[in-house]
Amino acid sequence: MEQFEIREKTLGQILDDTIALYPDNDAVIYVDRDYRLTYREFGQVVDDLARGLMALGVQHGEKVAVWSTNVPYWVALQFATAKIGAILLTVNTNYRKSEVQYLLNQSECENLFIMDGFRDHDYVQTIFDLIPELKTQPRGKLQCPNFPHLKRVMFLGAEKHRGMYSVPEIMSMKAMVSGQEYTERQTMLSPHDVVNMQYTSGTTGFPKGVMLSHLNIGLNGYWIGKNQNFTSKDRLCLPVPLFHCFGCVLGVLAAVNHGAALVILETFSPLHVMASVDQEKCTALYGVPTMFISVLEHKLFDKFDYSSLRTGIMAGSICPEPLMRKVIDKMNMREITICYGLTEASPVMTQTLPHDSFERRTQSVGKNMPGIEVKIVDPDTGLECPPNTQGEVVCRGYNVMKGYYSMPEATEKAIDAEGWLHSGDLGTMDAEGYVVITGRIKDMIIRGGENIYPREIEEFLYRMESIQDIQVVGVPSRKYGEEVGAFIIPKEGCEIAPEDVRDFCRGQIAWHKVPRYIAFVKEYPMTASGKIQKYKLREMAQELFPEAMR
């Protein structure tokens, strides 16, 4: 591993360096529509789009929101905004009208890109409902009392809609901005400028806009790729959302930092993942655990070739050890890594390495990333915990966010006076620095004064052959405060009863950890980025098991 050094570069400089080194390498590929650009071609699209945005009047420091799935212009927009000093504001594809309204107002957003829609949600109609002025006012000169900061709405594609500029129209305006003006805009940028804002998933409370700099995400992306031994010969299959750090940092910036190709899926489909890996001979694949399960259990799994795969990342939620073993054995991902972090940490603070022992790679989230300090502290005292003692995971380094947009109090709660970012996650660290995540502080179940950590029960029950996935939550109880509840997705074709689960536990784990309440479900409530929303499971448990309060 090379020695750590702060590589102070903007995202535009990172891309330009890669274009200079590997101009004819594949950069962006979409298998389902035969879309393929080399790094030279991709760089030209970025520059044309950036100069078009300047011609429209987009200024240094303005926010440019993008509400879209992983369509081809998404990644170009990520670098085009970075090159002109604008801030890309990524919008959750599952957001609805009230959530978009909140985000646009809270962020004081000046520019918005949208696509036509996603699943059953018509984005264009939603925006016309929120901003009826679009239909009557000149394009680019929007004045809307409900969104006083918003100046422009644009369409992330070729279609034309009233009041909006399309991407081809924007790119055609590049002639209005000289090469010198474009260069001057880039020279005024600092790697410490905010380049990206992501709103936390909002599983509790109102979403907060996390401000991340070029240095934050550019350097984090470099090391994420380095820890997978990425080179210009690698080809990354990326089916995770670009609006999330998993897509735009772990994916895009890890690949671009090392000249690797990006094989992007507009939305996740296990069949498209398998076809993309096979057709493009991908060497790396990313996904949250549920995505890997969907691929492994697909009826056509054996029809595709995975021999080209070598590495990748499983992250986003707890990665069960049995699933890791299957991915390594059945998909040839012998060097797969696990990343752990949070958006506020840009996002990765720990990562397993290909040369770690099999046990470390399947039972931990690895050690701290170069340039980042990680420790475990007592949530009550803030004092560092001894090895193998559970506490809150905190980190400090170049990766810590600049803060939450217009939320100074929330920022102070997240980052303490000594610069440590508090994750809200529980974990342990052994004497060699390997971290194991045991759950969220708020996920802890307290049953009659006994602290119970859901992760421990989940890991135990994953050994049960008939269980595909399991999530453990606290069920409110009149007698004990909380009881253990389990939401189980059975494997296809398996019949399982609550008593089977309890029988499997009895005598194997402490009696008070045995799930008292058990529900069988087909899927879990999830965020668009693939995180299971445990708070919704707790709400479901209250409805399903009212007897607990009697």
| Residue among 418, 402, 400, 398 nearest 6 (CA) | 398
Write the pLDDT tens digit of every residue in 206-219.
Answer: 789 999 999 999 99
Write out residues in the chain with pLDDT < 50, as ranges: 202-204
The β-bridge relationship of strands 284-287 and 311-314 is parallel
Please state whether the peptide bond connecting residue 347 to the residue before it is cis, i.e. omega within 30 degrees of 0.
Answer: yes
| Residue among 510, 457, 523, 460 nearest 485 (CA) | 457
Enter the pTM of the model. Answer: 0.89
The β-bridge relationship of strands 111-114 and 152-155 is parallel
Return the pLDDT at 183: 98
Q: Report the C-alpha gap between 201 and 196 in whole angstroms.
A: 15
Q: Report the C-alpha gap between 52 and 29 in whole angstroms.
A: 23
Return the pLDDT at 203: 40
Residue ranges of domains in the chain: 33-199, 444-549
Q: Is the dihedral of CA 230, 86, 247, 539 positive or negative?
A: positive
Return the pLDDT at 443: 81
Q: Report the C-alpha gap between 247 and 235 in whole angstroms.
A: 15
CB-count exposure of residue 520 (10 Å: 0-12, 13-18, 19+): middle
Is it true that domain 33-199 has CATH number 3.90.79.10?
no
Phi-psi region of 543 (alpha: psi -120 to 50; beta: other; left: phi over 0): alpha
Q: Which CATH class is domain 444-549?
A: alpha beta
The enclosing H or E element of 130 equals helix 123-130
Write the pLDDT tens digit of every residue in 78-101.
Answer: 999 999 999 999 998 988 898 899
With vertex at residue 264, the alpha carbon angle to CA 358 and CA 210, rounded to the nearest 5 degrees, is 80
Edge to edge, the sheet with strand 481-490 lists 467-477, 481-490, 517-520
